[in-house]
Structure 1
């Protein structure tokens, strides 16, 4: 259904832009388009489509947020295992590698030697 509407709109736009009938024909087409757009049935469909688009956008946003959260958790876990695992323990030691380690936001940074 949406494809047909898009096709008709594109066809009308192409006709208007390519018409050689002059300003009078353009005004005629513009008047018909304005009346069609102002039709309550058309406005009802526009409202329905806006509602559907909003719902789809919310669902896509929620799905993206879940994926980003999962990826961030995975990256944070990898960073923690790399930073906390430097004391000789492996990542499978449970909390043994994290004993005394500061949370990621509170760690001190060391400077690299310069040339």
Structure 2
């Protein structure tokens, strides 16, 4: 996250400096950034970070799937207890929970 902020700040500073110094300075800054981005070491680092990000995303997905499965099992157990008349705290069957009186005409 901090790297993205730093990249945006550098890009913004480069833009401002390029705009103030004119088109020549802008082109100079742009070509420097292009050379930096094209550097094999930079590209290797970018590739490594992409691989790590993919691994972290897979791990996060697995953890989320486990938690959702556990929560679903818990909810299913609660629903089964409600319908089977489990030993709750004075729970009433579903049909007897609400009594609504309609006004008679």
Deviation at 1:80? Answer: 0.8
Structure 2 length normalisation: TM-score? 0.72
Match of 1:26 in 2: 26
Deviations 1:82-109 (A, max 9, x none): 1122xxx637xxxxxxxxxxxxxxxxxx
Equivalent-residue separation in structure 2 for 1:17 and 1:39 (angstroms): 21
Match of 2:75 in 1: 75
Structure 1 length normalisation: TM-score? 0.67
Moved >6 Å (runs of 4+): none
Deviations 1:13-67 (A, max 9, x none): 1222222101111111110111111111111000000000001000101011111
| Pick aligned residue for 1:17 from 6, 15, 18 | 15
Structure having greater relative contact order (Cα 8 Å, sep ≥ 6): 1
Deviations 1:69-91 (A, max 9, x none): 00000000000111122xxx637
Match of 1:90 in 2: 87
Match of 2:44 in 1: 44
CA RMSD of aligned residues (A): 2.4
Q: How many aligned residue pairs are there?
A: 89
Deviation at 1:11? Answer: 3.8
Unpaired runs of 5+ in structure 1? 92-112
